[in-house]
């Protein structure tokens, strides 16, 4: 029969595991909420183009509520190796996202001092960033995109694309 000391140690271990699990769950919920928030704000800015003939310009620095110094835009079918090369290390989440076989998202990875601080899988139908891959990514001052209308979709609405502002100068 286990001694009182063993029961206490086992109880403490279980308590620590429970607390760590709860913290992990809360962090992942917060991360998902943050991803949805950023993607929703980006989509809302893109959508402004549908109701206006004016130039719609999006600054990623205005949408991000976290500190970052580079944003990398990876477009459909980007090999995982390219992501690792741009970031300078093997970034494990790229393996589960597997953008190398996907055409439904653009992957935006924000870093600060070389470490990933945030990423989002942004649906292309809510503002397509295809054609904006730039080796080394963009600084906050460079990450400015203009929304342009593309070809008509099946629903009759134009496909909305974001083009890097520097290309428009």
Q: Which helix (H) or strand (E) holds 30?
A: helix 4-47
Least Cα distance to 126 among 36, 33, 61 occurs for 36
User: What's the Cα-to-Cα distance from 77 to each of 85, 100, 104, rounded to whole Å?
Assistant: 15, 4, 10
Query: Based on the structure, what is the number of domains in the chain?
Result: 1
126 vs 70: CA distance, rounded Å = 22
Q: How many CB atoms lie within 10 A of CB 10?
A: 11
- Residues spanned by the domain of 56: 4-168
69 vs 86: CA distance, rounded Å = 14
Quick: pLDDT tens for 118-162.
Answer: 999 999 988 999 999 999 999 999 999 999 888 888 888 888 888
Tell if the pTM clears 0.85, that is, is over it: no
20 vs 75: CA distance, rounded Å = 35
Structure-token pair, residue 14: 């279980």
Q: Where are the beta strands (DSSP E) in the chain?
A: 56-59, 70-74, 105-112, 115-123, 144-152, 158-164
- On the question of pLDDT at 26 being above 50, the answer is no
Least Cα distance to 81 among 90, 93, 72 occurs for 90
- On the question of pLDDT at 6 being above 80, the answer is no
- Please give the pLDDT value at position 61: 94
The position carrying tokens 């989440």 is 93
- Please give the pLDDT value at position 167: 59
């Amino acid at each position: 029969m286990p001694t009182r000391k063993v029961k206490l140690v086992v109880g403490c271990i279980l308590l620590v595991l429970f607390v760590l699990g709860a913290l992990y769950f809360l962090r992942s919920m917060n991360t998902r909420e943050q991803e949805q928030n950023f993607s929703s704000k980006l989509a809302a800015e893109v959508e402004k183009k549908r109701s206006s003939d004016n130039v719609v310009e999006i600054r990623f620095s205005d949408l991000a509520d976290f500190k970052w110094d580079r944003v990398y835009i990876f477009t459909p079918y980007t090999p995982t190796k390219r992501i690792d090369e741009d970031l300078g290390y093997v970034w494990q989440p790229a393996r589960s996202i597997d953008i190398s076989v996907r055409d439904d998202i653009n992957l935006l990875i924000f870093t600060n001092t070389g470490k990933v601080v945030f990423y989002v899988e942004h649906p292309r139908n809510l503002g397509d960033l295809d054609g904006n891959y730039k080796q080394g990514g963009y600084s906050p001052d460079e990450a400015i995109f203009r929304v342009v209308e593309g070809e008509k979709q099946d629903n009759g609405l134009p496909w909305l694309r974001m083009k890097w502002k520097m290309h428009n100068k």
